Structure 1
């Protein structure tokens, strides 16, 4: 089953609600299993760099089927650098995104940018929990 726009929007709203509870301003991106954007939201006055960070972390999480922060330690490994380069250098191997997995299948990911890495991941998790 593919992730729908309605589901992606619900995930984004869950991430935004968590950000409001944390009193931070974020950008949230929800992508499909191929790393292509389905839904995006940017809170008022969120940093502009988070637009790219949220999407890049979502791409990485979808590509590897794990939280993007799990990839940080290996980010400088030649294989990881090669994969990121071959993919077009969109993936960001830093904390802040989690995969969307249903019935053992990666359907996409939610990435967040604007807070600390941990805050971003917490917001992304809160979003995915809305499914």
Structure 2
């Protein structure tokens, strides 16, 4: 299963929900929503967000989609040869850091929502808000 055009429109709702949570937390973020293969479906960068947060949000989303789990759960194993090899084979776009969660629709992986710009915990809070909006 992949993110459909209708769900991509929902991805914009995910972005709005993640940005809404960022406003509550008082941070500026970048948000990426990707399909199960880690390809970008939607992206937004808040005014004042660091330019590098865009790369972080997408890299975390790619990792989350690639392993069908929150990207933060992968951080502990990031230095393992297999994890480095997978990231390298994917083109170095996979970031094993807290801040992205997978999106499941009807039990199937549909993609992931990744956030960069705050602490890992803040990014994950925003990503959860975003992914929940896609499911709503």
* TM-score bin (small chain): over 0.9
- Equivalenced residue count is 131
Identify unmatched segments of 5+ residues in structure 2: none
* C-alpha distance in 2 between matches for 1:104 and 1:80: 25
Return structure 1 stretches of 4+ with deviation > 3 angstroms: none
The aligned residue for residue 103 of structure 1 is 106
Q: Does 1:66 align with 2:50?
A: no
Provide the TM-score with structure 1 as the length reference.
0.97
The aligned residue for residue 21 of structure 1 is 24
Compute the RMSD of aligned alpha carbons: 0.8
Provide the TM-score with structure 2 as the length reference.
0.94
* C-alpha distance in 2 between matches for 1:81 and 1:72: 11
Q: Does 1:113 align with 2:116?
A: yes
Q: Secondary structure at the match of 1:88?
A: coil
> Post-superposition shift, 1:97?
0.3
> Post-superposition shift, 1:128?
0.9
> Post-superposition shift, 1:102?
1.5
> Post-superposition shift, 1:100?
0.3
* C-alpha distance in 2 between matches for 1:64 and 1:73: 14
Q: Does 1:31 align with 2:30?
A: no
Cα-to-partner distance string for 1:94-115 (whole Å, 9 max, x where unaligned): 0000000122211100000000
